[in-house]
Chain A
Amino acid sequence: MNIWVYVLRRLLYVVPILLGVCLIIFVLFNVVAGDPTHLLLGKHATARQMAELRHELGLDRPWFYQYFDLVKSAFTFDFGRSWSTKQTISTMISEGALPSLTLTIPGFVITTILSVSLSLLVSFYRGSFFDKSSVIFCVGLMSISSLAYILFGQWFFAYYMDWFEISGYDSGFPNFIPYIQLPVLIWVILSIGPDLRFYRTVMLDEVYQDYVRTARSKGLNEKVILFKHVLKNAMIPIVTYVVIQIPFLILGALLIESFFGIPGLGGITLNAINSSDFPVIRAMTILSAVAYILFSVLTDVLYTVVDPRVRLK
């Protein structure tokens, strides 16, 4: 099958998924969560005010119109206005994306390079004490709550030792650098555990393959086997793992951003959750679902490009 036909087919499969996502969001926010006018107008609202607001928000229309609006917004990215700040949500998103990326891209790149190299190192010494303690180290890192890392990091390194900025943000390169140092460090600590553990499993899966035995029996040394043979074959799961994380980079880091005052999408989402700002929560949910779905299509397509063994069905 032609690759473009495959891409088209995968994209067509996106439609029912997207409709389903919109349906779940619609059911959660418009049906189960109930009437938002109480939330907006407070306790002393008159029936008339509530009816007017309901009309203004379009909540008095039949449900399928409301559902259709939701589906439409997934394609047009026109999400209306925030309830609390009254800004248009699309502006909020486009303004918040860059600060998020200044935090998440460095964090992601550093973690990936660090954990792939470390995973090669531990698979070189597989089964040894070094390998085993690296696994325990990863699991240990993962056993502490992310909130505890953020709280401790901010208090100890920024407040007590005064090595980093406690919180804040300044846009433009290189002004933002002092503000993202500690957040990036915390991001790396948070994600190196699961990443290293994943890459180690990937490497070990390859190390026991027949082609490695062949390479070894040819008399190649272990370094050549690891870097030339194992790493190349391990690229497939590595690429998949990397690509599927990209949408989450755009969405930022909820907790880190809100603690360090970075005006990114994660912080926006968290504020919306705290103030029950439904349109923003809904917009962020749709946005992340769309990003996730598109990137999983991209992963599948890349898979077939990178690995000639994967046959298109």
Chain B
Amino acid sequence: MENAQAVTTNINKPREEKSKSLWRHAFETIMKDKMAVVSILIFLSYSAIALLTTFDLVAGDWAKEVGGSYTAPSAEHWFGTDIFGRSVMAKTLKGTQVAMSIGLFTALISGFIGVLLGAIAGFYGGKVDEVIVWFYTTFSSIPSIMLLVAITFILGKGLLAVYLALGFTSWVSLCRLIRGEVMRHKDREYVHAATAIGGNDFRKLFKHILPNVLHIVIINFSLQFQVAIKSEVILSYLGLGVQGRPSWGTMIDDAKLELARGVWWQLAAATLAMFVIVLSLNILGDALRDALDPKLKGK
């Protein structure tokens, strides 16, 4: 039965079957890697918590006073309470929303800029390429912390400013990679074939070449996601982070005044929450690279 079905799909869509093989192969490789599977599950549960807190289904009452100021962790409050007697556990859960949204939007923004500029530079070459290379060389010569400060200073404080600042400062490495790959691909036969059947530049670039460099974008996405989550802490420390709602960055930053009084649980809770998701994304990124990068095959 299974065989018969496979044969019919083969007959109906022979091409699609073939073009999927890299992804199917990658999927199978990742599913065999136990640590990668655990990482995916962790990522999914963090995303679920983030979604649930967005709709106040979880930790909706994080701002409520549940005990005295700075009570140590107990069976009732696993991570104790903060200065205002709020549950650190609830704050950590609520902070997941900020962290995951920063990871997602930063990775999307930097991915978009990187792919667009990199693809255009690599595909058109010549003067266009020179200008884009000049632009990103210039951009990457400025330390990103300075750019971050300048951009948040201009955009004001808030979540949107954080997304944009982190996104605008993290696209160069992807842009470089995409440019190089597109350059390698643009003179391949399949692109010439697309030209021969009358495909325009847009179609050649986005329909034909881009799927062949998509693995770089995906690997980079998981990398940028976790870098952004970590960067939020530095922004919070500089007073440029999220205001008026709990984030792991502000919780870690609060610890600079709390530790001397022996209050370690807020630092511990936020660091632990961040450690688990960043570690998972790192492991997942490595697994994705091993599974998707054709150059690494057989190593």
Contact = CB atoms under 8 A, between A and B. Distances in A.
Interface of A: 16-17, 20-21, 23-25, 28-29, 32-33, 135-136, 139-140, 142-148, 151-152, 154-155, 159, 204, 208, 251, 254-255, 259, 270, 273-274, 276, 281, 284-285, 288-289, 292-293
Contact of A143 (B149, B255, B270, B279): B279
B27 to A, nearest CB: 22
Nearest to B145: A254
A142 B134 CA distance: 31
B233 interface: yes
A151 B274 contact: no
A303 B267 CA distance: 44
- The 7 lowest CB-CB distance pairs between A and B, nearest first, are A20-B138, A143-B278, A155-B259, A143-B279, A145-B233, A28-B150, A285-B146
Contacts of B149: 273, 281
Contacts of A204: 299
A147 B234 contact: yes
B69 interface: no
Given A17-B141, A147-B237, A288-B146, A208 B252 contact: no
Interface string B59-83: 0000000000000000000000000
Interface of B: 134-135, 137-139, 141-143, 145-147, 149-151, 153-154, 226, 230, 233-234, 237-239, 248-249, 252-253, 255-256, 259-260, 264, 267, 270-271, 274-275, 278-279, 282-283, 286, 299
A147 B138 contact: no
Given A148-B252, A255-B237, A32 B154 contact: yes
B234 A139 contact: no
Interface centre among A142, A147, A293 (most CB of B within 10 A): A147
Contacts of A23: 138
28 contacts: A16-B134, A20-B135, A20-B137, A21-B138, A24-B138, A28-B147, A28-B150, A33-B154, A139-B279, A139-B282, A140-B279, A144-B278, A145-B271, A146-B230, A151-B267, A155-B264, A159-B260, A254-B145, A255-B237, A274-B238, A281-B146, A284-B146, A285-B143, A285-B146, A288-B143, A288-B146, A289-B142, A292-B141
A259 B270 CA distance: 20
Contacts of A154: 259
Contacts of B153: 33, 276
Given A28-B150, A273-B238, A152 B142 contact: no
Tell me the interface secondary structure of chain B in the complex.
helix
Task: Determine which residue in A20, A140, A151 has the highest number of CB atoms from chain B within 10 A of its CB, and name it.
Answer: A151
A159 to B, nearest CB: 7
B91 to A, nearest CB: 16
A147 B150 contact: no
Given A28-B150, A255-B234, A143 B142 contact: no
B154 A147 contact: no
A144 B275 contact: yes
A143 B280 CA distance: 9
A146 B278 contact: no
Contacts of A159: 259-260
Given A151-B252, A151-B255, A281-B146, A144 B271 contact: yes
B75 to A, nearest CB: 25
Contacts of B237: 147, 255
A303 to B, nearest CB: 17
B150 A29 contact: yes
B252 A145 contact: yes
A73 to B, nearest CB: 15
Contacts of B226: 143
A285 B154 contact: no
Given A143-B278, A147-B237, A148-B252, A17 B142 contact: no
A139 B283 contact: yes
B141 A21 contact: yes
Nearest to B259: A155
B35 to A, nearest CB: 8
A307 B52 CA distance: 55
A147 B271 CA distance: 10
Contacts of B135: 20
A16 B239 CA distance: 34
Nearest to B233: A145
A146 B234 contact: yes
Contact of B138 (A17, A29, A274): A17
A271 to B, nearest CB: 11
Contact of B274 (A21, A32, A145, A292): A145
